[in-house]
Amino acid sequence: MPANAETNLAGMAFHLPLVSRIASIRSQSAARITWHSHDCFEMLLLMDGSTAYEFSDNKTVELLGGHFMIIPPGMLHRGLHDVRRPVRLNGILFDPLRKGAAKHTPFTAADLVWLNSQIVSGAQQAQRMGSELRSLVKAIPPDFSVLDLSCASLIASLRLIVCSILLEAAKQIGCARTFEPKQAVQSAIALMESHIDETISIETVAEAVHCSRARFFDLFKDATGMTPNDYWQRLRIDRAQRLLTGSSKSITEIAMECGFSTSQYFSSVFRKYSGVSPSDYRANETPGMLVESHND
């Protein structure tokens, strides 16, 4: 799939009335999604990156990699600009109480009533994916446009994966709590943000929050869905993007200010997370501005 791509598959395409549509999204760019709603539940399963959603009741929920969220039917919502990239997201639109929803599923009518009640209780909250749910989400095909929908075994497998995801998510909602970063992780992030221009090792950060390196990695990945190294690089790229569009500093100056030892390494990392070079990003994101030409 391209760096920025979304493919969708209607539930009727794999004979699952319970589901209206499933989606697979890969994105390295942040674009505000306009206000919209659905006539059924929307389950968002974020494997990598970070994004945020704003609701018409003025509630905002940040969704981190390794977490999922349920948006209830009729709830107006939109995506926000301020996301960390790249993002790997799957979505499922479904209605457990729809007529015929049990067809081609392992669920009875009573099961679907229970599923609906669990989903309602966990709506508009970021829920951490357990290992079982994460494994199931990984099994979703990354590109629905290339699926052979004439293959009966593939269609049956896809139905089973989707039903298993809905069941596992409903089970986890019963015992999950709203995401709250541990104090060690909060302190580590604050340290990273205040030392973006320095080359401090992750070991030093772990020591500063009184954790062993291994323990720190576990806590950080559990809380944010990212490794400490990946999170820190994203913070640096976020700052670099702001400097590229909000200042006339050279690429080399910005690289140094964001903690990169050379402009070449900065350009390589910037392209990895943003999909374009620093100079192209500056040209594309600052329309109408005259920007000096700088080497990457």
Q: Is residue 293 part of a domain?
A: no
One domain, residues 171 and 228:
no
User: Domain range holding 60?
Assistant: 5-175
- Strand segments, DSSP code E, in the chain are 5-10, 19-27, 41-55, 60-64, 67-71, 77-79, 84-94, 127-128
Q: Which CATH number is 97's domain given?
A: 2.60.120.10
Q: 103-112, 163-172, 278-287: lowest mean pLDDT where?
A: 278-287
**For position 290, what pLDDT does the model report?**
41
Six-digit token pair at 140?
A: 């979703």
Listing DSSP states for 105-138 in one string gives SS--HHHHHHHHHHHHHTBTS-EEPPHHHHHHHH
Q: What is the residue-averaged pLDDT of the chain?
A: 85
- In this prediction, residue 175 carries a pLDDT of 63
Domain co-membership, 239 together with 171: no
For residues 143 and 212, membership in a common domain is answered with: no
Which of 79-83, 102-106, 158-162, 240-244 is predicted with the least confidence, judged by mean pLDDT?
A: 79-83
- Is pLDDT at 177 greater than 50 in this prediction? no
Q: Are residues 139 and 199 in the same domain?
A: no
Cα–Cα distance, 133 to 167 (Å, whole number):
9
273, 237 contact by CB (below 8 A): yes
Last residue of a domain, one of 154, 175, 196: 175
Both 235 and 124 in one domain: the answer is no
Count how many domains the chain has.
2
Long-range contacts of 249-252 (CB under 8 A, 24+ apart): 250/292, 250/294, 251/278, 251/279, 251/294, 251/295, 251/296, 252/294, 252/295
pLDDT at 180: 47
pLDDT in tens, 61-91: 888 888 999 999 999 998 875 555 678 899 9
Separation CA 163–CA 159 (nearest Å): 6
pLDDT number for residue 293: 38
- Of residues 182 and 8, which shows the higher confidence score? 8
The model's pLDDT over 275-296, given as tens digits with 9 standing for 90+, comes to 899 999 988 876 554 444 344 4
**200 pLDDT exceeds 70?**
yes
Looking at 158, 175, 192, the residue that finishes a domain is 175
Q: Is residue 221 part of a domain?
A: yes
Average pLDDT, integer, range 82-106: 86
Q: What are phi and psi of 194, to 5 degrees?
A: -85, -5
Whether omega for the bond prior to residue 2 falls within 30 degrees of 0, making it cis, is: no
* Shared-domain flag, residues 164 and 199: no
Binning pLDDT at 50, 70 and 90, where does residue 243 land?
Answer: very high
Asked if residue 158 and residue 197 are part of one domain, the reply reads: no
